[in-house]
Structure 1
Amino acid sequence: MNWAFLVVTVALFLTGIALIVFAVKRIEKGLLRNFLLTAGASLTGLPIFALLHNLLYGSSIYPFVMGFRGRLSMAEEPVFFLLATLVCPLGFFVGTIGSAVIALKRSAAKP
């Protein structure tokens, strides 16, 4: 079994949780906190939605392979796929760029 995928998945999840905790505990309310929470939620959601997509796909294809002609979760599986491949990376990109821009503006404003 390839353990690299599992290690990366756990690392993404834990990094997202740490970023959320850091933003809630340390950063005052404002735009920087919102961008950090967006980045953290996206990092946390990516492995969760990928796992849900794979579980629903596997559970819906198993009866089809065994001879039953129906898919159990035809509507939910593509939603989790789109969340994992489009929404979460886009949210992470927006959160990271927004946090970097605000941090650079704050550091440039200090004398």
Structure 2
Amino acid sequence: MRSDMGFIDDVKRWLGREAADAKEWVDASVERGHDELDQAERRLSDDPSTRMAALQDDIAANDQAFDSLRDKADAALARPQADADLVEDGVEETASVEAQEGRDQPGGP
């Protein structure tokens, strides 16, 4: 009977820790929500030129994120496009490093 109570006490402690973590997360989420709402209310009360400047800042920040993603996508597409360009120009295609090492083959290293 004593071992059952020890297990139950362990479960209660674990549930207490999980509840505290959940409460902390909820409190932080509510705080972020309040901060975002306050910021939105401030923007509504700003004069048009200030709102336009803030909007341009937001656009610039998003542009940087999209530019980063576009650069990654362009880099990933550059190698296949370069290989295709060589084949179109009549240059014989050579095996890639991955193929030479057997990495692109099923059962390769």
User: Into which bin does the TM-score normalised by the smaller protein fall?
Assistant: 0.3 to 0.5
Q: TM-score, normalised by structure 1?
A: 0.34
Structure number with higher relative contact order (C-alpha < 8 Å, ≥ 6 residues apart):
1
Q: TM-score, normalised by structure 2?
A: 0.34
Larger CA Rg, structure 1 vs 2: 2
